[in-house]
Amino acid sequence: MLSKTKKKAVFSNVGSFASTIFAAAADEFGPEILYLDPTTVRCEFDEFIQEPVNENILNKFLGAQQLVTTDSFYNSLPDFINICNAFSGDMLNLSVWDPANVEEICWGIVESHIIWPPDKSTKTVFAPDILEYIKLAVKDEGLIAPPDILLEYLSDASDWIQVQTAFSEDPKMFQSIREVQQGQLDELNNIISMRLGILVDQFIELGLIKDVEEAKTKLFAAPTR
């Protein structure tokens, strides 16, 4: 069993990631917590920390609960979007349309692989409409190439080839576009790397892992670089 004091700190900190919250909840409440309705989960959390749990914490856990108990993250576009949003701190609410941006998509996929790693013997496959949504999100943010984490799912380089062709006679313009694109990609990749570093710190503080080296072997089944 993990330290109750440290688990209470996880449930009280709005900066806790879904992976950390899920691990603390599983340790404290057992597998039964996976099958409780949201109202009961809220009551369990409130009683444990002796104060009302923050909605941010509750939504992250409910997103993880849905990820583990259903396959909707991979097969339902609304659920995919909502879980990605929840893992980034937004509300888990199917009645409100809140598109997930590329950063939220990247982080949602990273945390999904940490919370519930896919079977390594089979390739993780998202439904066609989810893949199309991810592709459009990347395009809408002006990214011709996808961030590292999405390369596994968006391997088609046709858009970048089209840009190369369009500016084949203007190498300076092509170089300018490429530099802007690379800057955007570097920023996104750095944000995800920074979050992963914070997540490792949270896992170490909670007592799930001892150090960064252990994190490399135990945590990162996630599709990072």
Tens of pLDDT, residue by residue over 147-201, are: 888 888 876 655 555 555 555 566 676 666 667 677 788 899 999 999 999 999 9
Residue 223 within a domain: no
Q: Mean pLDDT across the stretch 206-219?
A: 70
- Report the distance separating Cα 23 and Cα 41, nearest Å: 15
Residue 225 within a domain: no
- Report the distance separating Cα 189 and Cα 187, nearest Å: 6
DSSP assigned state of 54: P
What number of CA atoms fall less than 13 Å from residue 66's CA on the CB side?
25
Alpha helices in the chain (DSSP H): 4-12, 18-29, 38-49, 55-69, 72-75, 77-87, 102-115, 128-140, 158-166, 171-206, 212-218
- Report the distance separating Cα 196 and Cα 193, nearest Å: 5
Please give the tally of structural domains in the chain: 1
DSSP assigned state of 30: -
pLDDT for residue 67 is more than 70? yes
Domain extent at residue 195: 4-218
More confident residue, 224 or 45: 45
Residue 198 within a domain: yes
- Residue 192: count of CB within 10 angstroms of its CB: 20
Residue 114 within a domain: yes
Residue 99 within a domain: yes
Contact call for residues 80 and 132 (beta carbons, < 8 A): no
Residue 104 within a domain: yes
